[in-house]
Amino acid sequence: MDGLTKFDIKIKDNFFSKEDFDKIYSTGENMSFVPDQLVYNDAQNSHVWFTKDAPEDIQKIIIKNVSKYFNKKIIKLPVCQYTFVFKSDKVEAHMDANPDNDFQTLIYVKGNPEIHCGTGFYVEKDNEYVLNTHVGFMPNRLVSWTPNVYHAPLSFTDEFKPRISLTTQYKFKE
96-106, pLDDT tens digit by residue?
A: 878 888 889 99
The chain-wide mean pLDDT, for the chain, equals 85
Q: Which range, 4-8, 41-45, 51-55, is most confident?
A: 51-55
pLDDT of residue 60: 97
38 Cβ neighbours under 8 A, 6+ residues apart: 48, 49, 50
Residue type at 163 in one-letter notation: R
Question: Which of the two residues, 98 and 131, has the higher pLDDT score?
Answer: 131
Q: What are phi and psi of 57, to 5 degrees?
A: -65, -35
- Residue 51 CA, chain-centre distance (Å), reads 12
Kindly indicate the confidence band of residue 36, based on its pLDDT and cuts at 50, 70 and 90: low
Please tell me the CATH superfamily of domain 14-31+38-172, with its number: q2cbj1_9rhob like domain (2.60.120.620)
Kindly indicate the confidence band of residue 129, based on its pLDDT and cuts at 50, 70 and 90: confident
Residue 42 has pLDDT above 70, yes or no: no
Q: What are phi and psi of 165, to 5 degrees?
A: -135, 170
Residue 1 has pLDDT above 80, yes or no: no
